[in-house]
Amino acid sequence: MTAAGEHSAPGAAAPALPVLAVAGLGLIGGSFALALRQAGMVSRVLGVGRQASTLARARDLGLIDCAVSAADAAAEADLILLAAPVGALGGILAEMGPALRADGVITDAGSTKMEVIAQARAALGHRIGQFVPGHPIAGGERTGPEAALADLYRGRAVILTPLPENTAPAIAMVRRAWEACGACVEEMEAAAHDCALASISHLPHLLASTYVVQVAQSADASRRLRLAGSGFRDFTRIAAGSPEMWRDIFIHNRDAMLAELAAMRNVLNDAEQAIAAGDGHNLQRMLEQAADVRRNWRQEQSE
């Protein structure tokens, strides 16, 4: 599929989303563009980003047809995906708001929803109905346009947290785009999303990162790191993720993070007391619950 889609042969079906815009051409945004191109859903893809070099690489890689400003993307696109770090979304939405096409729809890929929605309300005002919040549960440590994969979303969950102001056609447009990427779309309240993600994504990242810092601060850090094996490797893999992205997520999702941390501390304190007391019975009960849950999860997911 090339940028010539608008001049396609008579009889060819018009693509569902003639103009797609993607703000943030990394793994998430780039993969969305690639997948929709492959699905024949789009004719033109506009790229928005801060760094000209990233946009040039995205164009060379065929992710986008051309780079435009946020305002121009808002004026032209049928659908816009915001795939920049959540800390940058408010600013992008403020640039897009005044220029937004009357029937254009914006969605996002932010890992938190309550704070992004608050920023979208502030930026878009009475046009907030054109913003359908979303979050694809996918990712990886690879970053930049080169990391984009057409099948990144195949079989993965995408959560939409629609607003009361969203129209059914706007929600359907976003759902159809993600389904064309192969994703399984489900809807959820934004608050429930933020609690669930604080638990299964944000807290593990904080624990892995603080753990690595603690190891690095020890007097024999180099020996420890030299002896670390496959358990350490897997447990800390997420700590290699983007510091800026995770800083924004933690601050955006503060209340849910603090609640999960408090709950985690309670369980950890119980375990610590059992170790201190040599209480093998309670330790084993805790370890058995963890092993059971983890083994069953693995079977369900067939990893």
The nearer residue to a copy of itself, 125 or 140, going by C-beta atoms, is 140
Provide, rounded to whole angstroms, the least separation between the CB of residue 82 and a copy of itself: 20
Name the nearest CA neighbour of 58 among 81, 96, 31. 31
Residue 236 within binding range of a copy of itself, rule CB under 8 A: yes
Site string for a copy of itself, 202-221 (x = CB under 8 A): -xxxxxxxxxxxxxxxx-x-
Site for a copy of itself in 259-278 (CB under 8 A): 260-261, 263-264, 266-268, 271-272, 275-276, 278
Site for a copy of itself in 131-150 (CB under 8 A): 137-140
Site string for a copy of itself, 159-198 (x = CB under 8 A): x--------------------------------x--xxx-
Provide, rounded to whole angstroms, the least separation between the CB of residue 104 and a copy of itself: 29
Residue 155 within binding range of a copy of itself, rule CB under 8 A: no
- Quote the CA–CA distance of 149 and 28 in Å, as a whole number: 9
Residue 116 within binding range of a copy of itself, rule CB under 8 A: no
Residue 23 has which token pair? 């703000």
- Quote the CA–CA distance of 31 and 156 in Å, as a whole number: 13
Span from 31-39, 54-62, 66-74, 228-236 in contact with a copy of itself (CB under 8 A): 228-236
SS3 state at 293:
helix
Task: List strands edge to edge, sheet with 134-136.
Answer: 134-136, 157-160, 184-187
Amino acid at 257: M
> Binding residue for a copy of itself (CB under 8 A) from 157, 163, 176, 182?
157
Task: Report H helices in the chain.
Answer: 27-38, 52-60, 70-76, 86-96, 114-124, 168-180, 190-197, 203-216, 221-227, 230-236, 243-252, 254-277, 280-301
Q: Are 46 and 33 in contact (CB under 8 A)?
A: no
Span from 12-20, 113-121, 147-155, 279-287 in contact with a copy of itself (CB under 8 A): 279-287
- Quote the CA–CA distance of 81 and 219 in Å, as a whole number: 46
Span from 26-34, 62-70, 162-170, 239-247 in contact with a copy of itself (CB under 8 A): 239-247
- Quote the CA–CA distance of 160 and 171 in Å, as a whole number: 8
The nearer residue to a copy of itself, 14 or 216, going by C-beta atoms, is 216
Provide, rounded to whole angstroms, the least separation between the CB of residue 30 and a copy of itself: 18
